[in-house]
A and B are shown apart, each in its own frame.
Chain A
Amino acid sequence: MHEMSIALAVIGQVEEAAEAAGASAVRCVRLRVGELAGVVPDSLAFCFNLACAGTVLEGAELVTEAVPARARCEPCSGEWAVGMPPDLCCPVCGAATTELLSGRELQIVSVQWEDDPTRAPIREPIHEER
């Protein structure tokens, strides 16, 4: 399965962002995973925990927000949950000109990290602080 490749991609991007912002330790990574993204969250979490070892993300928690897949029919404007396996033809008029509103997300939403007090960020922070 490709969850290890996905985990490594997540870790690589978070490492880069943490380095640029001068963060010392990443505590939590929040992902948005669509129903049609083709990724199994449990498998991803397993790979993530293993692959974080020895990086600034060691011990970080991976939180995944599942996003249901929804589609919209252009001709009749109906909206529906496509389900799994997905039904992408309009259940009302049968049109094939559907548009997917959600479900393909595979995205890093946010990261929680500790700032390193001993060093200034390489560049300005890239975020909104809260």
Chain B
Amino acid sequence: MCRVVDLQQAVLAKNDACAHRLRAGLAARGTIVINLLSSPGSGKTALLEQELVVARRRGVPVAALTADLATENDAVRLARSGVPVKQVLTDGLCHLEAGMLGGHLDGWLPDDTRLLFVENVGNLVCPASYDLGESLRVALASVTEGEDKPLKYPTAFGLANLVVVTKTDIAGAVDFDEAAFRRHVEQVNPGVEVLLTSARNGTGSGALLERALAVADGAPVHSPVMTRQHQDHHHDDDRGRTHVHDHAHDPQRDHQHASAPAPAPQQRP
């Protein structure tokens, strides 16, 4: 007999559940994750090198995990700061998933870690879909990438809790139009803070660290419009047994509850 069965399951439910467990487990031991997303070459590693050195100097217990398709070059660079660093080679995979991250933390992440910076694979498309259990998601763009980068990659910038511009020391040389960049960020993620940094001349040094520490201390985190959708909250009883919420409610990444009614149950032909 052939039949149609309603499943109503979020495709990424397993990753989201895993991310939720990871976030809760880390929070219980006083650690938060900062997930850094950008295109290759935008300067994630250089910025992180600088922030790790500042953290070490201030005595903040931090650690960093960096993901690449190949080479341990980034880990070598980050390890110069003297903080615990781990390189993850994804073997060609274009993004990290929560389960992968959790597996790499077991037996490595020092107990007293306050902030764990995760440098995702350089890619603005795929990593955006995967919650890694982070409490702060940061999207970065360098001044050389064009002011319309947030419009070209709306999911990556639209889901970020913080946006960082890198390489501002050469902004003049490449005619970076800061106002246009900010306008484009605002279009996809109204209200998100934009930090200006240069690892070369020290502009914004320590600012990312401060934002991360504030989140670790319980400061409110910007809630992007794109995370404020009450999708998949179907409450019809007949779906109850297979229903999986597509996002976990978590105080660290809380979204504002909608005043609009939940979507009506889907009528099927």
Q: Are chains A and B native binding partners rather than an unrelated pairing?
A: yes
Q: Interface with A: B74-82, B123-131, B166-174, which one? A: B123-131
Pairwise interchain contact B189-A17, C-beta atoms closer than 8 A: no
B229 within 8 A of A: yes
B229 x A102 contact (CB < 8 A): yes
Of chain A, the residue at the smallest CB distance from B246 is A107
- B5 part of interface (Cβ distance < 8 Å): yes
Residues of chain A within 8 A (CB-CB) of B152 are 85
User: Does the CB pair B158–A86 fall under 8 Å?
Assistant: yes
Q: Across the interface, do A2 and B95 meet the contact criterion of CB distance under 8 Å?
A: yes
State the CA gap A116–B158 with chains docked (Å): 45
Considering the complex, give the chain B residue whose CB is closest to the CB of A21: B5
Known contacts A71-B225, A106-B12; is A112 also within 8 Å of B2 by CB? yes
Q: Secondary structure at chain A's binding surface: helix, strand, loop or mixed? A: mixed
Give the Cβ gap from A114 to chain B, nearest Cβ, in Å.
Answer: 5
B40 to chain A, nearest CB (A): 15
B190 at the interface (CB under 8 A from A): yes
Q: Which of A1, A104, A112 contacts B125 (CB 8 A)?
A: A1
Does A42 sit within 8 A of B, measured CB to CB? no
Residues of B within 8 A of A (CB): 1-15, 93-95, 97, 125-126, 128-130, 151-152, 154-155, 158, 186-191, 225-226, 228-229, 231-232, 238, 241-242, 246, 256, 258-260, 263, 266, 268
What are 19 A-B contacts defined by CB distance under 8 Å?
Answer: A2-B126, A5-B97, A13-B11, A36-B154, A36-B226, A38-B126, A38-B128, A86-B187, A100-B228, A100-B229, A108-B9, A109-B7, A109-B266, A110-B8, A126-B5, A127-B3, A127-B238, A129-B5, A130-B268
